[in-house]
Amino acid sequence: MQAELKELRNSGWEVVLKKARVIGCTVTGAASHKALLDALQPGVLLVEEAGELLEAHVLTSLSTKTKHLVLIGDHKQLRPKVESYSLQKESGRGYDLNVSLFERLVLAGFPHASLAVQHRMHPDISRLVRPTYPTLHDHPSVAQHPAVKGLGQHRVVFIHHEVPEDEQEHQAVMDQAAQEERAAAERLRLEADKLAAEKAAQQAKLMKEMADQKRQLAESSAQLLQAEADRQRQLQRIENDKRRVVAESASRREVVQGKAQARLLSATTALKWREAVADAGRDKAAGLEALGQLLQQAAREQQEGSQHAVDTLDTVFGYGSGLGARLLHLLRVPAMPSSGGKTDSAWPDPLQHLSKAQLAQRLLSEQAATFAATGPLMSGPASGALQPREVPAGWLKRAKTSQALSKLLQLTGLEPVKREMFNLADQVELEKSRKRDLNNRQYNICFYGNPGTGKTTVARIYAALLKELGVLPDAQVVETSGSALANGGVEQLKKELTKLEKGGVLFVDEAYQLNPRTNPSGAAVLDYLLPEMENRRGKLVTVLAGYQKQMESLLGYNEGLPSR
């Protein structure tokens, strides 16, 4: 009867909806009225907020006549809600039930388009999401958003709030459960006392009383078990809600900030913020003091003709920056006379000439000026700076016939890198003399170091050297970053590789951002890049750069990376 009644009702709606060009409903409505939608046979299905819908909901909405499926959403925002944490992607168990069809397709490299202009956030707010959306631009209209009355001209406001509501709710649930358990225990105790009294007073009714009490006890136990199960489910929901908060990852924190239009109010405790600032200040002061001691030791050893402390400075600031020698020149420590071949005990402390604040300011200014250069970091030693170690005669002779190696020798420091490149050149020349195929080995490498330490410069020199040796047909270098590839996906990687059709070097800075352990979208990029590195031998060389610890974690993710 109910089925017939529903069929009659749907027939009436079918007549009405066939006249409509657009039918709007929720995914729940689409599932409830699937028979009606199948009868209408819509050819196009448009799904809004597809990144927040379960894959099953989208598939249920499809009909047998659907020709086009248009998914609109953002795979970096909230995922679909799944009650069981063990089925969520964050649990790491592999079920990934809360990963939408939209996110799966995007991360798999399925063709998609991303909007490049946003019409919602004021520029003061949109800059908060730049790490997640580096190519996002502001429409001119967003700068005209009116200020919120009563809050001044600041667009981002921090509100101190130290009473988390979730903890209160969680504590209330725990208190209620504990109270119920105490009440149940008291009831059981009273019933047990009553049972014992009745047994002593009225032996004849023992069997009947025991049967009644056992039944009551079983019901009471069942109620306790049910109450405990309800409590566990409620606690799990609270825990799931906590995990579901956008703060579950850095990108999703930034996304929730992007929901603001004219004003962003952040309510949280300021205590941990103050603690973090204090810790950072202490670390900075300790680091500056250690730097001063290192500079003082380097200055003394410089006077003694030793290079050890200067090499230590180069290690701290990165090989190739030449910052160790330049810092000593920056301090302009005067030469002190020595007697008997020993340094004068009255050697002045360099920090006496500059306060800590002045030293830090000059240090940062000098470092910024050095790292801002786009060409070679240093074409030669700075005036008054330390001269580099004596270059081996074999290197000098080899550099006369190689422009790339000659440029490499002009860089300060980088002794391990220079040694590896000269060794590579000798090995390739030996392979060529033996008439062996140069493509039998891989030339892909990893650079470890902090930003601005000359990795890009060395990559250009490396590309030029490989062309000189005949390994690559062209010395072109295409520069990109791990974040750009992670955001753009496989399509972005294909665009970069297209620029190297004639051969060259793909330089990926901060490549550790492709680590699937921290960025799920990096898996598709790596899976596409690995076979390309193998298939394009002789035309493509890949250079991955970044911090050593993070890069080692990236190489450990896929056993194919170290072998290539």
Q: Taking phi first (over 0 means left), then psi (-120 to 50 degrees means alpha), and beta for anything else, what does residue 149 get?
A: beta
> Domain spanning 393-563: which superfamily?
P-loop containing nucleotide triphosphate hydrolases (3.40.50.300)
329, 387 Cβ separation under 8 angstroms: no
User: DSSP labels for 1-39?
Assistant: -HHHHHHHHHHHHHHHHTT-S-----HHHHHHTHHHHHH
Model pLDDT for residues 485-522, shown as the tens digit of each residue: 888 888 888 888 888 888 888 888 888 888 887 777 78
Give the pLDDT confidence score for residue 54 in this predicted structure.
92
Element (H, E) at 267: strand 264-268
> Matching CATH topology for 2-113 and 393-563?
yes
Instruction: For residue 80, give every residue at least 6 positions away whose Cβ sits within 8 Å of its Cβ, in sequence order, or none.
Output: 52, 53, 54, 57, 97, 98, 99, 100
Q: Strand order in 540-546's β-sheet? A: 445-448, 540-546, 504-509, 477-481
**Which pLDDT does position 299 carry in this prediction?**
63
Class of domain 2-113: alpha beta
Question: If 0-12 CB within 10 Å is exposed, 13-18 middle and 19+ buried, where does residue 39 land?
Answer: middle
The secondary structure of the chain in percent helix, strand, coil, rounded to multiples of 5, reads: 60, 10, 35
Residue 45 has what pLDDT? Answer: 92
CA distances to 129, 257, 259, 265, 268 from 153, in Å: 21, 18, 19, 13, 21
Interacting residues of 39 by C-beta distance below 8 A, sequence separation 6+: 10, 14
Three-state DSSP class for residue 470: coil
Alpha-carbon gap, residue 103 to 51, rounded angstroms: 6
Q: How many residues does the chain have?
A: 564
Task: Provide the sign of the torsion angle of the four alpha carbons 371, 376, 377, 378, taken in this order.
Answer: negative
Q: Please give the backbone phi and psi of residue 543, each rounded to the nearest 5 degrees, phi first.
A: -120, 115
Extract the residue ranges of the chain whose pLDDT is less than 70. 1, 161-175, 177, 195-208, 214, 217-390, 451-452, 557-564
Residues 412/381, Cβ–Cβ less than 8 Å = yes
DSSP string, 192-245: HHHHHHHHHH-GGGHHHHHHHHHHHHHHHHHHHHHHHHHHHHHHHHHHHHHHHS
136 C-beta neighbours (distance < 10 Å), count: 17
- 399-416 core/surface letters (b: 16 or more CB in 10 A; e: else): beebebbebbbebbbbee
Q: Which residues pair with 156 in a beta bridge?
A: 264
β-strand partners of 505: 477, 541
Q: How far apart are CA 326 and CA 329, in angstroms?
A: 5
DSSP 348: P
Q: Answer yes or no: pTM beyond 0.85.
A: no
pLDDT at 67: 92
Predicted pLDDT of residue 437? 78
Phi, psi at 445, each rounded to 5°: -140, 170
Name the residue ranges covered by the structural domains of the chain.
2-113, 114-148+156-269, 291-371, 393-563
